[in-house]
Amino acid sequence: MKELTEFSQKVYEAVKLIPKGEVRTYGWVAKKIGQPGAARAVGNALNKNPFPIVVPCHRVVAKNGLGGFVGGLAAKKRLLKSEGYKC
């Protein structure tokens, strides 16, 4: 496996803080890691998430909707609903 960048490591650590059944935006994650304005880079890092069970990237959404998900939006909705989040 390719070694993680420092940026990706920070993104994954921040995402692990999002409680089950809640969501945060890509922008929130960017601010949390001290990189405001890096929401798109956060999305790119999450798109390459090698730890999908440990790092719950499905809990990160766009400011105007669900955003993307490697497994598809239907899978993202299922995961969020299984945690009690109303999509």
The residues annotated as belonging to the active site are 57
Cβ 59 vs Cβ 22: under 8 Å: yes
Please give the structure tokens belonging to residue 69: 């998900």
**Range list of H helices, 1-87:** 6-15, 26-32, 39-47, 73-82
| CA–CA dist 64, 6 (Å, integer) | 28
**SS3 at position 60:** strand
